[in-house]
Structure 1
Amino acid sequence: MERKTLFIDVILPLAVPKAYTYRVPNKWNDEIEIGKRVVVQFGSSRLYTSLVFKIREKPNSVYEAKYIEMVMDKSPIVTKNQLLFWEWIASYYLCTIGEVMNAALPANLKISSETILIAETETFTEGIELSNNEQNILALIRNSDGIKLKDLSNSKIFPAAVKSLIEKKMVYTAEEIKNSYKPREAIFVQLTPEFNSEEGLQKAMDLLSDKEKQLEVLLAYINLSNFFQEDQKLLKRSTLLKNIERSAPALNPLVKKGIIRVFKKEISRVKTLNSKVKPLPELSDEQKKALDLVQTHWKSKEVVLLEGVTSSGKTLIYAHLIEKMLASGKQVLYLLPEIGLTDHLISRLSVYFGEYIGVYHSKFQKNERVEVWQNVLNQNPKAGRLIVGARSAIFLPYTNLGLIIVDEEHDSSLKQHQPAPRYHARDAAIMMGKILDAKVILGSATPAIESRWLAEQGKYGWVQLHSRYGNIKLPEIVVADLKKERAQKSMKGAFSTMLTNLIGHCLDHQHQVILFQNRRGYSPIWVCQVCGWIPKCTDCDVNLTYHSFSNQLVCHYCSKTYLPPKQCPACGSSRLKMPGYGTERVEEELKELFSEARIARIDLDTTRSRLNYEKMLEKFEERELDIIVGTQMISKGLDFNNVQLVGVLNADQMLNFPDFRAFERAFQMMVQVAGRAGRLKKQGMVVIQTSFPDHKIIKLVIDHNYSGFYRSEIEERKKFMYPPFYRLIQITLIDKNKSRVHEAAELLASSLRSKLKQRVLGPEFPYISRIRNKYHIHILLKLERSMSPVKVRDFIQEKMNEIHAIKEFKYMRIFADVDPA
């Protein structure tokens, strides 16, 4: 029987416009499947992990296909539905499918010619059969302490031998070694078996009857571990020592007597994920009606918008929907806009769903992400059935997805900006729901204008919650007039008299306070009071921000740092002033005003580690902190029972931003941060500091009037041809030479106008046009919703390719951002 010659089209993890065709050696014909990884040579010598996209028997007529180097998988790691989803993202967001693959696959599932192979030193070859080729390769790798994959690729014995060694765990890639999973451990204390009963405990107390300090430790252990209760728990050593205000040696006598043992135990990075779960709380009457209405809408519509005021109990409705989906054997995806929100949410959901939960986002270690990927792909009956994650979680290989929850669906963090694909996770999730036949629910107290409009048009189901859970009143929102306070000279730094007094009142009554200032650093600007000189970044067209913690001037665009000048370099004056407030300065002034208060700052500078952010929120939840000062990281999704006051320190910053979405974002941000106040029993208070107390957006926020805001905003959008009535595509060109990038942009805009006419606006240099010594210029397209998206995108791609084909513009970066946020 004649064997077939197979050719495969593969997706390379590169920004190449098409899939490339390779030839399959006959011996691997039976191993080739769509979705498997194969190693291929691309270019002169580099090797890449690619994905099998299509299988066919006809060769490519344009070029002679090279042979693949290796089949890496026993079974596909990507599903056919995933590949359909990737194709849609590449087409809709005007990028290549290779860029989608690069974003989708965890790093440890990718391998390239720069990858280093290392022999596993702890593996012994006894009992493991190795061919001569495998032995030779293994010896070569061991003798060189690691060797690059590309240095082996010229050998004829390379593909099969290396693949076999990897499968036999004799060889690992350097990435696996470098980023290997290290379990988190904690030190626990526990009564030894002899004393771990009521009789044994009495025996221990008799032994310690004349040892007062040791008896104190034992009694503290009994109390903290719930010893006499059914839910007796393991106790961390640190918790015990903190309670008795002692150091570790205080336990030594009890350990020597054999009463207590101290041991290390691996703990999960996710809180309390155990098999003991509680039943879900009962829904209120309004929540029950909302839940029923959601399920009714799903009979005729795939997407439902759940619009509910802050603290209305949307999460509990999600939980009841999750419970039903898990009971039916389905997978659930719970998307959040911020990585930092995952731990806070999981601490709530794990009480009900325990070990079903899997977490997936970019801050997790690479091997952990691969484990979650495999759990989802293989439909692990428990782990990973409920995935909680940020936007990258939409790329997991779901095989039985039943429900997608997009929480805080209005949030701009759901939009990916750099690098490609520049997708919006909410819109991508809706498309994924269509491909996988999964239901989608979008939730927000302040829905995106586009989502609310689609709900009104009947495209989405629409369910509303008008009151807070437990009939708690929405917070009272008041305005502090900064213009009046400054005129009266009654401001205390960044704080109005009203806000200062209310903070003091809250602290006196042991309530907590959240203060919102959406600007990090100490001061956003330095200025010479004599000549007006302002320090700027040498590589970007931006003013430098002063950070007092590091005593540096920092560019927030390229991260370049500078030492603060002692005098003005322009006129020599030492009269340098720092107007304006960042979170560092607010924190400093708070400590001066309320010296006894326990204050923490949450912004990008203090929470670069996911664990730092988690610890701060945990401290605040445990009431170990009185005041949190933060940027937008504190404005959404957090639920703290003891917060009685929220202060917005400068609303004018948000209102005066030059963007058509400025009012929408300002309204959403203020309503969301206000929603953190008074979530348990007593009505909360919100103070908005502004120089424009009569501004229409401020008044709408005070009245909690989202519908009024929506009506006002939708008229403006219609009048000036913005979404949802028009689709936007922004094309950006980037080059080191300002005149060259302007010339290319003019040429591209002119070419686009040949068909799109007046729909093409620009080109224009943005307010900040130079970043990292490269000039950016924008062309904006406003397109009617009735226009064919596919034809328009094909036309745009064609015109961008034409610019790239011109020799002087060959290396210029040109990309399109579809639906810019």
Structure 2
Amino acid sequence: MSTIAKVVVENATLHFDKLFSYLVPEGIPVSAGCRVTVPFGAGNRTRFGLVMELGEEDGGAKLKTIASLVDKEPLLNAEMLALVRYLKETTFCGYYDAVRTLLPPGIGVELKYTYELGEPVPEGEELPGDVRQVVDYLSGRGKPVREETMLAALGLAADAPVLRFLCENGTLIKSQEIRQRILDEKLVMVRLADGISELSDITGVKITAKQKAVVELLSRVGQASLKEVCYFAAVGKTVPDRLEKAGILHYFTREIYRNPYANRHAREDSNSIVLADEQEAAFESLCALADQDSPAAALLYGVTGSGKTEVFLRTIRHVLERGRGVIVMVPEISLTPQTIDRFHRYFGSQIAVLHSGLTMSERMDEWKRIKKGGARIVVGTRSAVFAPLDDIGLIVMDEEQESTYKSEQSPRYHARDVARVRVAYHKALLLLASATPSVESYYRARQEKYHLLTLKNRYGKANLPDVTILDMSTQALNASSASLSQELIEQLQSNLDHHEQSILLLNRRGYNTLVKCAVCSTVAQCPHCSVALTYHSANGHLMCHYCGYVARADEVCPTCGSKLLRFSGAGTQKVEQELRELFPDARILRMDMDTTMARFSHEKYFADFSAGKYDMIIGTQMVAKGLDFPNVTLVGVLSADASLYAQDYRSYERAFSLFTQVVGRSGRAEKAGRAYIQTFTPENTVISLAAAQDYDSFFAQEIESRRIHLYPPFCDMVGVGFSGLVNAQVRDAAQCFVAKFAELAGGEYPDLPLRVLGPCESQINRVAGKYRWRMAVKCSYNARFRTLLWRVVEWYYAQNAQKDVSVFIDPKYENSI
């Protein structure tokens, strides 16, 4: 009997993505969960794979043999291998896409090939020209030559017949080596070369306009990261690369420590946290659920500032005392600084951190530390749900309603669903926490599928803020600010006079959100996407927020040739400028994606704001949730209407959550708080309910609408997306897919309750040069429905006519279509 390994192979198309059987060579200690290299396909090209399971073979089948073992010990245990299968089945991804999701990016490896001469060629023997070329190139070299080096020098392809011929007759020896990918341990910095301090110092070299922009930027700031240079000069990386090659710029690296949170020790005992009566009751209920020998789920629903964090800090301590591990998830990086600092205060070095703000090497080190038992609490964003803890007792999802817990790339999983699978495996407790729970979660709690724990009052002496709704349609045309009402301006001045802090929310970055020709009204659009370009004053260019396209702001109109442009719509950059003009002595901080590109920028800015170094923040939604600043007594919501009217059945839910959360940042300590919501539709009930912090009334209104129109939680919504370079081909592919789906569903699955919507163009029809169409299915997302969908997907990929149009499945679709 021979040992066989069931292997999943990287880069296999979805149509051929399955478990492949390979013989295990004697003497190689292959285990399930290890990576291997295997010959694959008709050409036996070497590929990476992962062993999913081992078995025995009686010798009847002719199988290929595993080429080499990459990992001495398994990277994935039985639970993680089960998660790979779960992601494959439920999110319609490839097996290896799921494997990559579970592993840290820094742990990747790559294959490198080398060539050297084997059997010596007799002197004087006549050889064909291409053979002689290869032999002469390798002769006299003391060591093997890398494949890419030799191919480039000789102008050959990797599958050139001459190479195959020479390897088969022994003249060439081709070897492979497995190497760890280069880790991102250094931050690349840029400065002007010695002797150059301004543009006039450059002589004898002709430089382009873009290169001049880079030089002028560095002459002002001295030095900056390469990423910052590219953004603020609005250039690609090749521009500073050419300047560096010409000796005008100098690249250097700044050391990045592999564990940025090292040497943080516990400073307080979490048992010292004093809980109010309703917090104590919630804590005791959670301890009882965590102690039972079966999986459980609870929803901790409390108003903003009610002390939910204190409750689960105490619960975490209880779980740790039982010797079990904990995963705590926050929805985005901006919320990690305060969360991590608080956890380190109570738990010190027991904390491991996983989020995309760390370098690949740091994430890999943290992952290894967790896997080896060096950390018992994992704090991070969505991907932390896959942390390799052995014995999980508790998984916490803070702000559980946030859409960032859903992955928009393959595999399209929701962290809440993965968390349910993991707590079932470990017989643990899943704790969802929010002041504005998702409609589905609150509905499940009302149906007693989750244990509902409620905190109705703010912690300590804090009270909910007074909220005022401002009707912007009544503002005077000659107002001192286009973005801020006169009443909000007066309140900001009052806060400055009383040395109190303010937060302003505007969920649009950039300076102007719309630029169009003043003569013919043609809108400046991205040539690769169906969206308008946004003007950024920080770099003086128009930018696409979808594909990153950059254009000059002074280019002529492509329709009429006019240079007259009209700028309208306000982003965070414009409001920041208005604030500086209105309050010249105020210390103003802008926080959006443009100002938080640097590592740990969120942490630095929030620490500075907490320390009183700024008087007010203007920012996008990263300033709206989960933050606790005792001196913030004023919150302003600008352009509230932009969040209300999206083509999305969750638009009201998201808007209510955003308004409620940001209003809740005010008055969280002893000082009274107030909030102002600016809108052109003050009669909208979502705004008035958010102002009243009345989630129960909002839920009653929203759940009835969902019931009438049949949206989740009364059904599941599954989306099917199509994308390709030619719009007509994408349309035809979508129609072809729907026709096959209808044929199979009507013929073999008539028992399934289905409503098919579409196909139609996506709301943004073109992104990064690819056209997009979509369809949606209202269904019950069970195993039988997934079988139907898998059959259609496999049929689709077997059709050569559709090879230029890709398809993806979104099991948590949210558009109304």
TM-score (norm 2): 0.80
2:453 — aligned with what? 463
Matching residue's letter, 1:90: K
Q: How far is 1:40 from its partner?
A: 2.3
Between 593-602 and 747-756, the greater mean CA deviation after superposition? 747-756
User: Which of 608, 611, 634 is 1:645 aligned to?
Assistant: 634
CA separation in 2, counterparts of 1:434 and 1:143?
Answer: 49
8 A Cα contact 2:394 2:429, kept in partner: yes
> Partner of 1:112: helix, strand, or coil?
strand
Residue 553 and residue 323 in structure 1: after superposition, are their counterparts in 2 closer, same or farther (change >3 A)?
same
Instruction: Tell me how far apart the structure 2 counterparts of residues 734 and 146 of structure 1 sit (CA, whole Å).
Output: 36
Structure 1: distance between partners of 2:730 and 2:148: 47
1:414 aligns with 2:401: no
Corresponding position: 1:528 with 2:517: yes
Q: CA distance change for structure 1 residues 143 and 766 in 2, over 3 Å: closer, same or farther? A: closer
Q: Deviations over 1:506-543 (max 9, x none)?
A: 01111111110001111111122332111111111111
| 1:284 CA drift (Å) | 1.5
Give 1:762's match in structure 2, choosing from 758, 763, 767: 758
**Are 2:422 and 1:432 aligned?**
yes
How far residue 679 of structure 1 moved from its aligned partner, in angstroms, is 0.9
- The equivalent residue for 2:535 is 546
Does 1:370 find its partner at 2:368?
A: no
Task: For 2:400, give the aligned amino acid.
Answer: E
The Cα offsets for residues 392-445 of structure 1, whole Å up to 9 and x where unpaired, read as 112222211111001110000111002x00011112111111122221100000
Aligned to 1:243: none
- 1:805 alignment counterpart: 798
Does the alignment pair 1:614 with 2:603? yes
Give the whole-Å Cα distance in 2 for the aligned partners of 1:141 and 1:9: 34
> Which residue of structure 1 lines up, in the alignment, with residue 184 of structure 2?
179
Displacement of 1:292 in angstroms is 1.4
User: Who is 1:664 aligned against?
Assistant: 653
1:293 aligns with 2:285: yes
Is the deviation greater in 296-305 or in 15-24?
Answer: 296-305
Q: What's the counterpart of residue 37 of structure 1?
A: 35
Cα distance in 2 between the residues matched to 1:572 and 1:416 = 43
Distance (whole Å) between structure 1 residues aligned to residue 647 and residue 766 of structure 2: 18
Deviations 1:34-53 (A, max 9, x none): 11222223343644432211
- Matches of 1:717 and 1:116, distance apart in 2: 61
Residues 726 and 39 of structure 1, relative CA distance in 2, 3 Å threshold = same
CA shift, 1:64, in A, is 4.1
Q: Tell me, yes or no, if the aligned pair for 2:329 and 2:382 is still in contact at 8 Å.
A: yes
Query: 2:327 touches 2:377 (CA, 8 Å); kept in 1?
Result: yes
- Could you tell me which residue of structure 2 aligns to residue 794 of structure 1? 787
Equivalent of residue 69 in structure 1, options 56, 67, 70: 67
Q: Which amino acid in 1 is paired with 2:595?
A: T
Does the 8 A contact of 1:49 with 1:110 survive in 2? no
Match among 490, 495, 502 for residue 484 of structure 2: 495
Q: Contact 1:728–1:818 at 8 Å: present in 2 too? A: yes
1:5 to 2, 5, 15: 2
Could you tell which deviates more after superposition, 64-73 or 710-719? Answer: 64-73
- CA offset digits 1:135-187 (Å, max 9, x no partner): xxx98479999999x9999899x99x988xxxxxxxx83524x43489xxxxx
Note if contact 2:185-2:258 (Cα within 8 Å) is conserved in structure 1.
no
Indicate conservation of the 8 Å contact 1:277/1:350, yes or no: no
* Larger deviation, residues 430-439 vs 730-739: 430-439
For structure 1, the residue ranges without an aligned partner over 5 or more in a row are 118-137, 164-171, 183-263
Question: Does the CA-based 8 Å contact 1:181-1:368 persist in structure 2?
Answer: no
CA shift at 1:372, angstroms?
Answer: 1.9
Q: Contact between 1:116 and 1:174, CA under 8 Å: does it hold in 2?
A: no
Amino acid at match of 1:709: F
Q: Distance in 1 between matches of 2:59 and 2:309?
A: 52
Distance in 1 between residues matched to 2:639 and 2:256, nearest whole Å:
47
Per-residue deviation at 1:322? 1.0
**Overall identity of the aligned pairs, in %:** 34
Residue 447 (structure 1) aligned with residue 437 (structure 2): yes
Contact 1:479–1:689 under 8 Å retained in 2? yes
Equivalent of 2:381, from 363, 378, 390? 390
Distance 1:270 1:766, change over 3 A: same
Choose the corresponding residue for 1:91, options 66, 89, 92: 89
* Change in CA separation of 1:64 and 1:733 when aligned onto 2, cut-off 3 Å: farther
* Amino acid corresponding to residue 655 of structure 1 in structure 2: L
In structure 2, how many angstroms separate the alpha carbons of the residues matched to 1:296 and 1:402?
A: 12
Q: How far did 1:616 drift? A: 1.1
Deviations 1:368-405 (CA, angstroms, capped at 9, x unpaired): 2222222222222xxx2100011111222221111100
Mapped to 2, the partners of 1:639 and 1:115 lie a distance apart of: 54
Unaligned runs of 5+ residues in structure 2 are: 116-140, 152-157, 188-254, 747-753
2-structure distance, mates of 1:266, 1:389:
18
Gap change, CA 1:265 and 1:666, over 3 Å in 2: closer
CA 1:275–1:688 in structure 2 vs 1: closer, same or farther (change >3 Å)? closer
Q: Which residue of 2 aligns with 1:22?
A: 22
- Which digits, 9 at most, give the CA deviation of each residue in 1:209-249, with x for residues without a partner? xxxxxxxxxxxxxxxxxxxxxxxxxxxxxxxxxxxxxxxxx
Tell me the distance in 2 between the aligned counterparts of 1:92 and 1:452. 23
Question: Per-residue deviation at 1:26?
Answer: 1.2
Cα pair distance change 1:140/1:306, threshold 3 Å: farther
Relative to structure 1, is the Cα distance of residues 321 and 593 closer, same or farther in structure 2, using a 3 angstrom cutoff? same
Q: Find the counterpart in structure 1 of residue 684 from structure 2.
A: 695
Which residue in 1 is equivalent to 2:110? 112
Distance 2:145 2:315 in 1: 54
C-alpha distance in structure 2 between counterparts of 1:116 and 1:309, whole Å: 63
Q: Which residue of 2 aligns with 1:477?
A: 467
Whether contact under 8 Å (2:110, 2:179) holds in the other structure is no
Partner of 1:85: helix, strand, or coil?
helix
Q: Can you list the C-alpha shifts for 1:546-577, whole angstroms capped at 9, x where unaligned? A: 11111111111111111113553433444421
Structure 2 distance, partners of 1:47, 1:485, is 68
Aligned to 2:229: none
* Matching residue within 771, 775, 780 for 2:771: 775
Relative to 1, partners in 2 of residues 1:344 and 1:57: Cα closer, same or farther, differing over 3 Å? Answer: same
1:610 Cα deviation after fit: 3.2
Using the alignment, how far apart are the partners of 1:464 and 1:116 within structure 2? 64
How many angstroms does 1:601 deviate by? 1.1
In structure 2, the residue matched to 1:346 is 340
Say whether the 8 Å CA contact 2:107–2:181 is kept in structure 1.
no
8 Å contact from structure 1 (residues 15, 99) kept in 2: no
1:329 is matched by which residue type in structure 2?
Answer: G
Contact between 1:270 and 1:343, CA under 8 Å: does it hold in 2? no
Q: CA deviation at 1:491?
A: 5.3
Deviations 1:438-472 (CA, angstroms, capped at 9, x unpaired): 21100000000000001111111110100111041
Count of matched residue positions in the alignment of Structure 1 and Structure 2: 697
Amino acid at match of 2:465: P
Give the whole-Å Cα distance in 1 for the aligned partners of 2:58 and 2:596.
Answer: 53
* Residue identity matched to 1:49: F
Hey, what's the Cα distance between the residues in 1 that align with 2:650 and 2:351?
35
Q: 1:414 to 1:146 in 2, by over 3 A?
A: farther
Which amino acid counterpart does residue 5 of structure 1 have in structure 2? Answer: S
Alpha-carbon separation, structure 1, partners of 2:256 and 2:390: 34
Query: Which residue of 379, 391, 401 maps to 1:400?
Result: 391
**Could you say if the C-alpha distance between residues 145 and 368 of structure 1 is closer, same or farther in structure 2, counting changes exceeding 3 Å?**
farther
CA contact (8 A) 1:733 1:778 kept: yes
Aligned amino acid, residue 671 of structure 1: T
Alignment pair present for 1:308 and 2:307: no
| Residues 805/478 of structure 1: CA separation in 2 closer, same or farther (3 Å cut) | same
**Which residue of the partner structure matches residue 320 of structure 1?**
314
Q: 1:116 to 1:653 in 2, by over 3 A?
A: farther
By how many angstroms is 1:58 displaced? 2.1
Q: Give, in angstroms, the shift of residue 96 of structure 1.
A: 2.2
Moved more, 616-625 or 703-712: 616-625
Stretch of structure 1 that moved more, 463-472 or 339-348: 339-348
In the alignment, the residues of structure 1 paired with residue 181 and residue 495 of structure 2 have an alpha-carbon distance, to the nearest angstrom, of 51
Q: Which residue of 1 aligns with 2:666?
A: 677
Q: Distance in 2 between matches of 1:143 and 1:80?
A: 38
Distance 2:58 2:443 in 1: 49
